[in-house]
Structure 1
Amino acid sequence: MSIAINRDFKIDLVVIVQDEEKNINKLVRKKYGDNLIIVDSYSRDNTVNELSQYTKQIYSQKFINFSVQKNYAISKSNNEWILTLDADEELTEGAQEVIRELVKKKDIDGYWFPRRNYINDKTYLKHGYFYPDWQLRLFRNHKGYKYSGIIHAQIQIPEKKTRYIKDVEILHSPERSKYNSWLSFFRLINYIKIEGSDLAKSKTAAASFFSGIFLETARHFFRCYYRKRGFLDGYNGFRAAVIFGLYQGNIQMYAFFTRLFRYDTPEV
């Protein structure tokens, strides 16, 4: 896979995958980078075989958490810039040309792009917590920059060295949307367990069942639906705000019961 994004600065497209046979071809065919780096968590489908036609840089590592996987992936990069995308994401048309100009800037080390979270093929949530949903995905390859966070992994770059760019948007496929139906909430169960277990170790975990499930749910729903104007997305915005509120409330509740019964932290 070879395309010159910039004559002076080359970009590695880094993707972590697991059982992404149905999604990955659409992404890698776009050729967003000069080189493709894949870290696979021992996929059981045909993901690795599909990717082998695009790159030789395919590495396997047991999934521990998102930060561990992404830090391992970027450690394999030898180019000046890194672009990270998920297997079910793409960029808007013309993104390559914009990126070509962005990487020329000497005083900037990272760029945030807004992300559209689609709930079907044509509709994405435009308000609430769900847009612009800024993501730091293009950054300079610097040994001091590492990911942190067990689920919502974030590359740690000083804010003053980053810029927010509206001309490139990330398009997040609706296939695994957590907000396209009420049943989508169940896709969050594993995340609730993981984040709740992690929260239980901190001093910010809910002190009671009531403050966990009810107050936290209400707080996030109110902020998402009213303060962030999620109501402008109509019924879709209402459903998404309720699901997100329940997600946050259940994290607190899980942390409360984890402390109460001293459960072990589940594996990610």
Structure 2
Amino acid sequence: MFKITVCLLTFNSERLLHDVIPPLLIIADEVIIVDSGSTDNTVYICQSYGLSPVFKKYGWHGEQMNYAVSLASNDWVLCIDSDEILDPDTVNTILKLKTDGEPEPGMAWRICRHWFVLGEKVRTIYPVSSPDYPVRLFNRKQARFNNRPVDDQVEGFLHSERIPGYVRHDTFHTLHELFNKLNGYTTRLVQYQTIRPSIGRGVISAIGAFFKWYLFSGAWRQGRVGVATGLYATVYSFLKYFKAWYQYQDERESAAREQTDSHFIK
């Protein structure tokens, strides 16, 4: 039998914590919660379950998860976000895995993750299709999250299998949350990845995203939720290029001002 540390990330997560935490307590030999500065009842709810969150200022998701993993006492870790709810089949399968003996360190397990946006199950949410199958259970000495500013994933494992059951990923509960995260994701993307600064490319990308993620994906059948996910994909595709262009123009103007100032000083 091997032990598992559950690593849970929180930030103003009171809405779902009473659904998220109980299944985790069934399978966890240890729970590490890393909170990035919640101002709601998140910390109080965690404490009501006997759990004490550790504070770490948010950088990006993979960095936060790797920090939680580094605090684990056990080599095997299950990494979960505070908007992800494990179903009974997943819990029972993990309990059985624990009794089968310790696996090879290079082994990892994927969880079927169904996305819910504005309370409804969706087929797509840019840039993934639902369900997707992220690796969430792995040996921390073998694997870890990469450092991508968005859409990070676990790397370093040698083999993976899918765990029966699924996780309900109840994300973007309100329009405010959807567009707030859209703004944050695109800003981080431009800051930490090289994006071609081009408004024209942004327009073309946005048009392509509209057709792919709204029309061709069938999102249009889902009424207002489909419009929201289609708009999310379209605006995301445009914003990343627009923000890169805006940043490039700002840097050019700053360089020109510095050059002008140095000329007058001479």
TM-score by length of 2: 0.78
**Residues 43 and 242 from structure 1, CA distance in 2 versus in 1: closer, same or farther, beyond 3 angstroms?**
closer
**Counterpart of 2:263?**
none
Please, which of 201, 223, 232 is the counterpart of residue 211 of structure 1? 201
When the two structures are aligned, how many residues end up with a matched partner? Answer: 245
More helix by share: 2
Deviation at 1:134, TM superposition (A): 2.3
- Give the distance between the partners of 2:136 and 2:177, measured in 1 at CA: 30
The residue identity in structure 1 corresponding to 2:29 is D
Please state whether the residue corresponding to 2:15 is helix, strand or coil: coil
Report how far residue 255 of structure 1 moved: 1.3
Matches within 5 A, 1:36-185: 36-55=31-50, 58-102=53-97, 104=100, 106-107=103-104, 109-121=107-119, 123-127=120-124, 129-142=128-141, 144-158=143-157, 160-165=158-163, 167-174=164-171, 176-177=172-173, 184-185=178-179
Q: CA deviation at 1:54?
A: 2.9
Does 2:8 correspond to 1:15? yes
- Are 1:195 and 2:193 counterparts? no
Alignment deviations for residues 158-198 of structure 1 (CA, whole Å, 9 cap, x no partner): 4x412234x22110225x34xx7599435412222222222
Q: CA–CA distance in 1 between the matches of 2:15 and 2:118?
A: 17
CA RMSD of aligned residues (A): 2.9
Shift, 1:15, TM fit: 0.8
Match of 2:245 in 1: 256
2:205·2:238 contact (CA, 8 Å) conserved in 1? yes
Helix, strand or coil for the counterpart of 1:172?
A: strand
Structure 1 window deviating more from structure 2 (56-65 vs 83-92): it is: 56-65
Q: Percent identity?
A: 21
Unaligned stretches of 5+ residues in structure 2 = 255-266
| CA distance in 2 between partners of 1:183 and 1:68 (Å) | 21
Matched, 1:230 2:191: no
CA distance in structure 1 between the partners assigned to 2:219 and 2:36 by the alignment: 38
1:182·1:239 contact (CA, 8 Å) conserved in 2?
Answer: no
